[in-house]
Chains A and B, each alone.
Chain A
Amino acid sequence: MQPRTEATLGRLMASRLWKSIFRSGRGTSTLHRSMAIQQSVFLHILPAKVRRRMLNFDATWYLGTLTLGTFLVLVITGILLMFYYHPSVPQAYADMKDLRYVVSSGLFLRNLHRWSAHAMVLLAFAHMFRVFYRGAYRPPREFNWVVGVILLLITLLLSYTGYLLPWDQLAFWAITVGSNISSAVPIVGQKIHFLMLGGNQVNANALLRFYVLHCVILPLAAVLFIAVHFWRIRKDGGLYVQQSEPAKGAGEARVSTEDSAQEAVAKP
């Protein structure tokens, strides 16, 4: 960084305004860096310290992080798409055409949302299998595995409800095939089917219900359970470490941490 930029940034971070927003204040000491986590409402669900070897790519393949990444992309592109979308028949389909031919970058926006959605389903499954094969569901992490299964189901429901929204042939018949299965539930099957679609077949009511589920209820549920999922990682003692794996490069890492701490002190 340029010295001038750094100085300006330093003055900004030392200002009253900055300190009033970020309680941790400025500094590179271990205390400040712990406070950066503990004093933030968004980050305090994370542990202040993590095991160094859990940052290695082979430890997790970053699958959970990447699943969260797709979710963030989906929230941002989803909100932008909502500006152009009406959950009504036949306007919904006309909006798809507009996104394709009229709205600036509308095609790209929809592509990004669609492919990110597929990626999220794929990554959530990959994350689950990876956690299983590492044995990371073992006590005391049992309940976080259950939260993970709930999140997988929410992911599938999010994808499924979003599938209907373009209101094209693909959407209509995929939801028709899927929702017909619910009629097979004994005794209450027809009731569930009706409740889900707001009618006996996929129609404008179903589109509205799926829209509300897709844009409000399911994302809120997802955020809630993601928060619990991350918080439980901290409470259950950090990411799971396989006992058989040797701790790689533990010695040299400690030296480098001390170096940076001294550096921080030496800086004016």
Chain B
Amino acid sequence: MSDYVAGMSSDAKNSPKRVVFVTRRTSAHVRSVDEEQVQTYPEALFRAALAVQVLVIALVLLSLLFNAPLEGIANPTVTPNPAKAPWYFLGLQEMLHYFPPIVAGVLIPTLLVVALVVIPYFNINIRPDGVFLKSRRRNLTVFYIVAASLSLFLWFFDVYVALAPTLMVAGFMLIAAFSAPQSPDRFRRYLVSRPVSWWIMTWFLLELAVLTVVGTFFRGPGWSWVLPWRS
């Protein structure tokens, strides 16, 4: 008999159940997890309604305290300096400052969307093992090459805003690489157990946050560096 892979059915009547075929010379060991369930109505729906009510109260308070911005009527002949996109695109606009539009405006966003879409279809994002625990030597080599070339690339183009988060994540990955899974330090144990997908997403989250904050608050006329508290 060939080996069978454990799988999960998606249309089981109640809760999804794992089905496992036990191969030869293995003792059958059934561990059934009977999960407690409650009725969606009213248990889940009332909680959802409560959450939305709290949200609406917060939004109403915000709307009573702060007014939406409204500037002068649109005038194509008067360009404000700097002209900024909505806040969630300011990370990209910050990139536009360093790279040509084809790279920062087309290539990076397209790659981002594609990368997000394909996440669940690659086993590297499904495996839960710490990145340096299995095939350590190979993963360390790949990490050194990727981290060094990415940092050099950003340094070469003077993208210090993106370089700082990259170095930070690389630093923590180094700590993870040289910590034992049984380290007495809780934080180190946590870092060791992080899979590669976790590191990539955390790097992306950090870049997104830093670039957006810099683009929103620290950029003034001619996209020069300004301090928001000294304006």
Contact = CB atoms under 8 A, between A and B. Distances in A.
A76 to B, nearest CB: 10
Contact of A169 (B56, B63, B78, B113): B78
A218 interface: no
Interface in B164-190: none
Interface in A145-164: 145-146, 149, 152-153, 156, 159-160, 163
A129 B205 contact: yes
Given A108-B64, A170-B69, A53 B36 contact: yes
Given A96-B70, A184-B106, A201-B76, A69 B41 contact: no
A178 to B, nearest CB: 5
Interface string B44-62: 1101100110011001101
B213 to A, nearest CB: 13
Q: Is the interface of A mostly helix, strand, loop or mixed?
A: helix
A168 B71 contact: yes
B63 A52 contact: no
Most chain B CB within a 10 A radius of its CB, from A181, A185, A236? A181
A227 interface: no
A43 B63 CA distance: 31
A145 B121 CA distance: 10
Interface in A18-65: 30, 33-34, 36-37, 43, 46-53, 55, 62, 65
A202 B76 contact: yes
B70 to A, nearest CB: 6
Contacts of A247: 33, 35-36
Contacts of A153: 113
Nearest to B78: A169
Interface residues of A, number: 94
A88 interface: no
Contacts of A16: none
Interface string B1-37: 0000000101110111000000000000000010111
A115 B36 contact: no
Given A133-B201, A177-B83, A111 B63 contact: yes
Interface in A84-141: 89-90, 93, 96-97, 100, 107-108, 110-116, 118-119, 121, 125, 128-129, 132-133, 135, 137-141
B89 interface: yes
Contacts of A114: 63, 68
Nearest to A171: B74
B39 A30 contact: yes
A155 to B, nearest CB: 9
Contacts of B226: none
A149 B118 CA distance: 10
A69 B86 contact: no
Contact of B83 (A137, A145, A173): A173
B39 A62 contact: no
B74 A172 contact: yes
Contacts of A201: 76
A237 B8 contact: yes
A111 B10 contact: no
- Residue among B73, B78, B117 with max Cβ neighbours from chain A (10 Å): B73
- Top 5 nearest A-B pairs by Cβ distance? A184-B101, A181-B105, A172-B74, A237-B16, A111-B63
Given A49-B38, A52-B35, A97-B70, 5 more contacts: A51-B37, A89-B74, A115-B59, A146-B117, A168-B70
Interface of A: 30, 33-34, 36-37, 43, 46-53, 55, 62, 65-66, 68-70, 72-73, 89-90, 93, 96-97, 100, 107-108, 110-116, 118-119, 121, 125, 128-129, 132-133, 135, 137-142, 145-146, 149, 152-153, 156, 159-160, 163, 166-174, 176-178, 180-186, 201-202, 235-238, 241, 247, 249-250, 253-254, 257
